Amino acid sequence: ANVVKPCLYQKYKNYGASWNSPSPSRFMNHRVPAHKRYQPTEYEHAANCATHAFWIIPSILGSSNLYFLSDDDWETISAWIYGLGLCGLFVVSTVFHTISWKKSHLRMVEHCLHMFDRMVIYFFIAASYAPWLNLRELGPWASHMRWLVWIMASVGTIYVFFFHERYKLVELLCYVVMGFFPALVILSMPNTEGIWELMTGGVFYCLGMVFFKSDGRIPFAHAIWHLFVAFGAGTHYYAIWRYLYLPSTLQTKVSK
CA dihedral (173, 176, 182, 188) in degrees, to 10, reads -120
Give the burial class of 207: count Cβ atoms within 10 A of its Cβ; 0-12 exposed, 13-18 middle, 19 or more buried. middle
Please check the confidence at residue 15 and state whether its pLDDT lies above 80: no
Supply the pLDDT for residue 3. Answer: 46
Average pLDDT over residues 45-71: 95
On whether 45 is known to bind a ligand per the annotation, the reply is: no
Quote the CA–CA distance of 237 and 61 in Å, as a whole number: 12
Q: Which amino acid is at 173?
A: L
Supply the pLDDT for residue 12. Answer: 43
Supply the pLDDT for residue 211. Answer: 92
Please check the confidence at residue 231 and state whether its pLDDT lies above 60: yes
The per-residue pLDDT for range 72-123, each reduced to its tens digit, is: 999 999 999 999 999 999 999 999 999 998 887 788 898 899 999 999 999 9
Write the DSSP assignment of 2-27 as a string of letters. TTHHHHHHHHHHHHHHHHHTT-GGGT
User: Any idea what the Cα angle at residue 101 is, between residues 43 and 19, rounded to 5°?
Assistant: 40
Please check the confidence at residue 251 and state whether its pLDDT lies above 60: no
Does the reported pTM lie above 0.85?
A: no
Name the E strands within 97-233: none
Quote the CA–CA distance of 37 and 75 in Å, as a whole number: 41
Name the E strands within the chain: none
Cα→Cα distances 18→22, 88, 159, 223, Å: 8, 39, 42, 24
Confidence band for 17, pLDDT divided at 50, 70 and 90 = very low
Supply the pLDDT for residue 138. Answer: 79
Confidence band for 171, pLDDT divided at 50, 70 and 90 = confident
Q: Are 240 and 63 in contact (CB under 8 A)?
A: no
Query: What are the φ and ψ backbone dihedral angles of 63, each rounded to 5 degrees?
Result: -65, -40
Quote the CA–CA distance of 123 and 84 in Å, as a whole number: 9
Averaged pLDDT score across all residues of the chain? 84
Average pLDDT over residues 183-194: 85
The per-residue pLDDT for range 117-167, each reduced to its tens digit, is: 999 999 999 999 999 999 988 777 777 888 999 999 999 999 999 988 788
Quote the CA–CA distance of 67 and 69 in Å, as a whole number: 5
